[in-house]
Amino acid sequence: MRGGRWAALALGLLRLCLAQANFAPHFFDNGVGSTNGNMALFSLPEDTPVGSHVYTLNGTDPEGDPISYHISFDPSARSVFSVDPTFGNITLVEELDREREDEIEAIISISDGLNLVAEKVVILVTDTNDEAPRFIQEPYVALVPEDIPAGSSIFKVHAVDRDTGSGGSVTYFLQNLHSPFAVDRHSGVLRLQAGATLDYERSWTHYVTVVAKDGGGRLHGADVVFSATTTVTVNVEDVQDTAPVFVGTPYYGYVYEDTLPGSEVLKVVAMDGDRGKPNRILYSLANGSEGAFEINETSGAISITQSPAQLQREVYELHVQVTEMSPVGSPAAQATVPVTIRIVDLNNHPPTFYGESGPQNRFELSMNEHPPQGEILRGLKITVNDSDQGANAKFNLQLVGPRGIFRVVPQTVLNEAQVTIIVENSAAIDFEKSKVLTFKLLAVEVNTPEKFSSTADVVIQLLDTNDNVPKFDSLYYVARIPENAPGGSSVVAVTAVDPDTGPWGEVKYSIYGTGADLFLIHPSTGLIYTQPWASLDAEATARYNFYVKAEDMEGKYSVAEVFITLLDVNDHPPQFGKSVQKKTMVLGTPVKIEAIDEDAEEPNNLVDYSITHAEPANVFDINAHTGEIWLKNSIRSLDALHNITPGRDCIWSLEVQAKDRGSPSFSTTALLKIDITDAEVRRLRYMKKSDFPGTTKPVRKPKFKPKKPHSSQGLFLHPHYEIALFNLSNMNLYSRVFQGEAQAS
């Protein structure tokens, strides 16, 4: 018995455990490319916008219990996604960057409230073209000898793009296509182009801008290409290829009466033409010294070796030679310069201007107007000299006259100098403003008590150039001409002036444009006139518009606009549509006659109307402006009209005149026949047979004449109206309609 109870108890416990067992939920695995399931092999482009719904977690519970979804990340990592626990929708909440993080690890889980199943997933971040190329190891500086052969490699730049595929491939090119350099588009190697040379003396530094461009790719749904630039500084290294150069030439020296032997007279200065790596310079006297002077081979200082009283000549012409010494000590390039040394006496000579044939106080020159800025007036051969020595021969040069046009160099002279006049303001040298420019050269001693001075006139005759454009005295010309002007009539004269002289100032006129066909222009006088065959008509074209061009012999021109209006002439009479017109007038309503005048303008095309003849004359009035015709106010019925009309006829003939207001005036007449009726008769005339009940005969025109009253009904009808013949039984019903045209027997 006890054993049976234990068995029953065990069986009950087993049933309770089975009842309480609950199986765990699980995710669906939908494979690669699916956007729902367990995120297996899921990938996402790095340019996916934050806030996008990127995936849906999807699973089930065996018992059908409600399930919830969760996603978590390592505490040290960013929480890139969030999930809707109920629906499993995963949303991107952080920006992606494949170059910083190309895969994201996450823990996704599904729970039915009792059981939680978690899976570790790896989301791959795919690349988009969101990175620009970046040059590395900047700055780029290259040192290149100036004699490097064309085509030689100079430098290599390198740029990287962290994108993959075409977006990560980099090509190179130069921003300046006219550079003496070229770059290999794949390797980034910078070379000197074929046929190009470097010259340190012309430019010792080149700045080359290199552009690196990626291969392009997709970003946010669009094709994009990124690029970057860098500058390569190419420093040109000087090589020995230029002779020595003297500085401060010409050289003049002076020996005074109190000069002691061994004293320095002057110093010449030379330097290696190759400024980058100059050689050492040595000076020597080539000839002309005659033992009276010597030179320091390293400083270039020239000294006197004798007393001035022992010198046999007033002027010594020395030749100084300078020699470069190479780094190994051997002579290299050489140059020679003349040096003039004068023996100075007392200050007894003023500065004097010299021309090619001796002393001169007037210099003349002819030159074109507007020479280039900085141009030297080479036609002036002027030398200024003070025959004294030392401080007595130092003087200043000034140019006296209109300021700012020219300047003179040098401004301070010791003993003698070649005078150079340089253009400073080209615009002021204008033949049209002044044909002759006159200046004075003034030389005044500086440090002498006497302040000796002298002047020379400089007269510049300007030669005209074609520097002006013909200019009209107005931007547009307005003319009026009658439309009946004969061919060849003058219209308007235009005037353009070119201030240049000679052939350059001659102006040739021409016209062009859509409105110019009917006109000609005299090429010299500018008189515009009509073509000989032209027939102008204001009614066809009232206005013409075209352009006139004034041009000089070299094709410089200006343009003005011409507006021509044709003045209307009264050359069209008014015209009626027909010379004989018929109209029906209903009592109380006017009729209208109209004439058209084809003239273009008022008052020629304004028409006035009048009745020139009517029988009788007192029946109608006419509106002089509109042509409306109506019965006089005293006539209000057909009876009244018949009483004043002979023969009791209902058709009247009027002669109407249309006259324009031009001068002289034209007029035209028309014959107007008016058929008069009243509204009721007009209505009955157009009734159908069905409108008359009880009629036995069709509607037709009566063939009788109203000589006698109708014997049955006692009325007669006018023959111009269409009427219906009725049964005698119905005649009384309609007899009232004809009261305006019927009379009792």
Q: Two tokens at 126?
A: 């795919």
Last residue of a domain, one of 670, 688, 706: 688
Query: 99 with 150, same domain?
Result: no
Reply yes or no on whether the pLDDT at 1 is more than 60: no
pLDDT of 7 reads: 65
Query: 490 with 448, same domain?
Result: no
* Segment 419-450, tens digit of pLDDT: 999 999 989 988 888 889 999 999 999 988 88
Query: What is the average pLDDT value for the chain, to the nearest integer?
Result: 82
**Does some domain include residue 698?**
no
**Does some domain include residue 13?**
no
**Does some domain include residue 722?**
no
The mean pLDDT value for 110-130 works out to: 89
* Segment 371-380, tens digit of pLDDT: 998 898 888 8
**Beta-sheet pairing, 358-359 with 352-355:** antiparallel
* Segment 491-502, tens digit of pLDDT: 999 999 999 888
pLDDT of 704 reads: 39
Query: 516 with 551, same domain?
Result: yes
Query: 563 with 579, same domain?
Result: no
* Segment 328-364, tens digit of pLDDT: 777 778 889 899 988 876 677 899 999 989 999 999 9
Distance CA 445, CA 448 (A): 6
The mean pLDDT value for 464-481 works out to: 91
Reply yes or no on whether the pLDDT at 56 is more than 50: yes
Q: Which domain holds residue 520?
A: 471-567
Query: 583 with 667, same domain?
Result: yes
Lowest mean pLDDT, pick from 10-14, 15-19, 57-61, 649-653:
15-19
**Does some domain include residue 701?**
no
Distance CA 321, CA 246 (A): 10
* Segment 105-114, tens digit of pLDDT: 999 999 998 9
More confident residue, 736 or 476: 476
Write the single-letter amino acid at 32: V
Tell me the pLDDT band of 174, cut-offs 50, 70 and 90: very high
Widest pairwise Cα distance in the chain = 173
**Does some domain include residue 393?**
yes
Which residues are within 8 A (CB) of 42 and not within 5 positions of it... i.e. 6 or more apart?
55, 121, 123, 124
More confident residue, 253 or 725: 253
Query: 434 with 538, same domain?
Result: no
**Does some domain include residue 730?**
no
Distance CA 614, CA 631 (A): 12
- State the first-to-last Cα distance of the chain, in angstroms, to the nearest integer: 152
Question: φ, ψ for residue 558 (rounded to 5)?
Answer: -140, 165
Query: 109 with 37, same domain?
Result: yes
The mean pLDDT value for 570-588 works out to: 84
Distance CA 214, CA 208 (A): 20
The mean pLDDT value for 12-16 works out to: 54
pLDDT of 494 reads: 95
The mean pLDDT value for 454-482 works out to: 91
Question: Token match 């993080």: residue?
Answer: 101
Reply yes or no on whether the pLDDT at 10 is more than 80: no
Q: DSSP E strands: which ranges in 51-188?
A: 53-57, 59-60, 68-72, 81-83, 89-92, 103-111, 116-126, 134-135, 140-145, 153-156, 159-160, 170-174, 181-183
What DSSP character marks residue 680? H
Distance CA 682, CA 685 (A): 5
Which residues are within 8 A (CB) of 342 and not within 5 positions of it... i.e. 6 or more apart?
252, 253, 254, 255, 314, 315, 316, 389, 393, 415
**Beta-sheet pairing, 580-586 with 575-576:** unpaired
The CATH number of whichever domain residue 410 belongs to comes to 2.60.40.60
Write the single-letter amino acid at 656: V
Q: Are 429 and 370 in contact (CB under 8 A)?
A: yes
Q: Each residue of 94-122: b (16+ CB within 10 Å) or e?
A: eebebeeeeebebebbbbbeebebebebe
**Does some domain include residue 299?**
yes
Last residue of a domain, one of 212, 237, 262: 237
Which residues are within 8 A (CB) of 652 and not within 5 positions of it... i.e. 6 or more apart?
614, 615, 619, 620, 645, 673, 674, 676
**Does some domain include residue 356?**
yes
pLDDT of 508 reads: 95
More confident residue, 442 or 201: 442
High-pLDDT (> 70) share of the chain, %: 87
The mean pLDDT value for 129-133 works out to: 84
Q: Two tokens at 632?
A: 């006089």
Q: Give the 3-state secondary structure of residue 220.
A: coil
Distance CA 636, CA 609 (A): 24
Tell me the pLDDT band of 725, cut-offs 50, 70 and 90: very low
Query: 207 with 159, same domain?
Result: yes
pLDDT of 441 reads: 93
Reply yes or no on whether the pLDDT at 176 is more than 70: yes
pLDDT of 711 reads: 35
81 bridge partner residues: 92
Q: What are the residue ranges of helices labelled H in 22-62?
A: none
HEC letters along 323-342: EEECCCCCEEEEEEEEEEEE
Reply yes or no on whether the pLDDT at 414 is more than 50: yes
Lowest mean pLDDT, pick from 301-305, 424-428, 694-698:
694-698
The mean pLDDT value for 651-671 works out to: 84
More confident residue, 360 or 258: 360
Lowest mean pLDDT, pick from 60-69, 544-553, 609-618, 694-703:
694-703
pLDDT of 311 reads: 82
Q: Are 473 and 493 in contact (CB under 8 A)?
A: no
Distance CA 532, CA 149 (A): 75
Query: 203 with 301, same domain?
Result: no
pLDDT of 520 reads: 93
The mean pLDDT value for 14-38 works out to: 76
Q: Give the 3-state secondary structure of residue 27.
A: strand
Last residue of a domain, one of 287, 317, 344: 344
Query: 580 with 562, same domain?
Result: no
High-pLDDT (> 90) share of the chain, %: 30
Query: 671 with 597, same domain?
Result: yes
What DSSP character marks residue 524? T
pLDDT of 679 reads: 72
Query: 459 with 494, same domain?
Result: no
Tell me the pLDDT band of 236, cut-offs 50, 70 and 90: confident
Sign of CA dihedral 334, 336, 337, 340: positive
pLDDT of 537 reads: 82
Taking the complete model, does pTM exceed 0.85, yes or no? Answer: no
Total number of domains in the chain: 6
Length of the chain: 745
